[in-house]
């Protein structure tokens, strides 16, 4: 399968807590990306990590990539109610194909 | 730039009718993707283009689906004839070429086939 698989499917946390979301995949990739989708809207890019990188940070986001285990994780620190959304990992192959997993529904309780 | 523009935002049609979804990518972007999103299957890649040429249409579910990109600023996804199971949200996305580029999504077209 060329899709990533996100885990867990749903996550509910209290505001201020950290949220950790995982993505596993089976194919080789050029890079891995995380996107966010608010209800009824299009997806918005959050962060990209190349296959030769292990960790990247952007504001409250931290993404890691382990190519030996074919897995990635997205950490959102100090979560806010406004972080409530669906989060997707996307695999970018050498052929520029971009495929998405089924997503993780994150609920942040005020 | 106004971003990726899709039309219509909502479409309700009767089974058997032809449906055409439209997309205007961001100017200068080399790649255009069409996706379908449902609760059951998530976000499926249907087809993508590079410089107006279809590269991979292996995700197109059936011959009833067809996509064209006659020029760099316009693409269509057509379903003929439509069926109730085609009901979904269809997204168009575009991006620049290169290895480190993000995709920009339109707001989607919610299609309901009754």
As a whole number of angstroms, the distance between CA A58 and CA B48 comes to 29
Which pLDDT belongs to residue B62? 87
In the predicted model, residues of chain B with pLDDT beneath 50 are: none
User: Contact A100/B55, CB-based, under 8 Å?
Assistant: no
Q: From B91, which residue of chain A is nearest by alpha-carbon distance?
A: A42
Is any Cβ of chain A less than 8 angstroms from the Cβ of B56?
yes
Q: Do B56 and A97 touch (CB under 8 A)?
A: yes
Mean pLDDT across A38-59: 95
Answer whether residue A9 shows pLDDT above 80: yes
- Contact A29/A17 with Cβ under 8 angstroms? no
**What is the average pLDDT across A10-18?**
97
Residue B98 at interface with chain A, using a CB cutoff of 8 Å: no
Whether B35 has its CB under 8 Å from any CB of chain A: the answer is: yes
Q: How far is CA B58 from CA A6, A86, B30, B35, B54, in A?
A: 23, 26, 20, 12, 11
Contact partners, residue B87, CB within 8 Å, separation at least 6: B111, B112, B113
């Amino acid at each position: 399968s060329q899709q990533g698989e996100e885990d867990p499917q749903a996550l509910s946390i209290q505001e201020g807590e950290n949220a950790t979301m995982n993505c596993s995949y089976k194919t080789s990739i050029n890079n891995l990306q995380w996107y966010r989708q608010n209800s009824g809207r299009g997806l918005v890019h959050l962060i990209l990590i190349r296959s030769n990188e292990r960790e990247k940070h952007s504001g409250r986001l931290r993404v890691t990539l382990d190519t030996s285990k074919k897995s990635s994780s997205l950490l959102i620190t100090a979560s806010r109610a406004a972080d409530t959304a669906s989060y997707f990992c996307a695999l970018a192959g050498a052929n520029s194909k971009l495929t998405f997993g089924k997503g993780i529904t994150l609920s942040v309780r005020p | 730039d106004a971003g990726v523009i899709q039309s219509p935002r909502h479409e309700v049609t009767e089974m058997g009718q032809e449906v055409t979804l439209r997309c205007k990518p961001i100017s200068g972007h080399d790649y255009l993707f069409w996706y379908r999103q449902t609760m059951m299957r998530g976000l499926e890649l249907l087809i993508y283009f590079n410089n107006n040429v279809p590269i991979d249409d292996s995700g197109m579910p059936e011959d009833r689906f067809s996509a064209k990109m006659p020029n760099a600023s316009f693409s269509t996804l057509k379903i003929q004839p439509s069926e109730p199971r085609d009901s979904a949200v269809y997204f168009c996305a575009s991006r620049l070429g290169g290895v480190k580029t993000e995709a920009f999504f339109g707001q989607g077209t919610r299609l309901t086939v009754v």
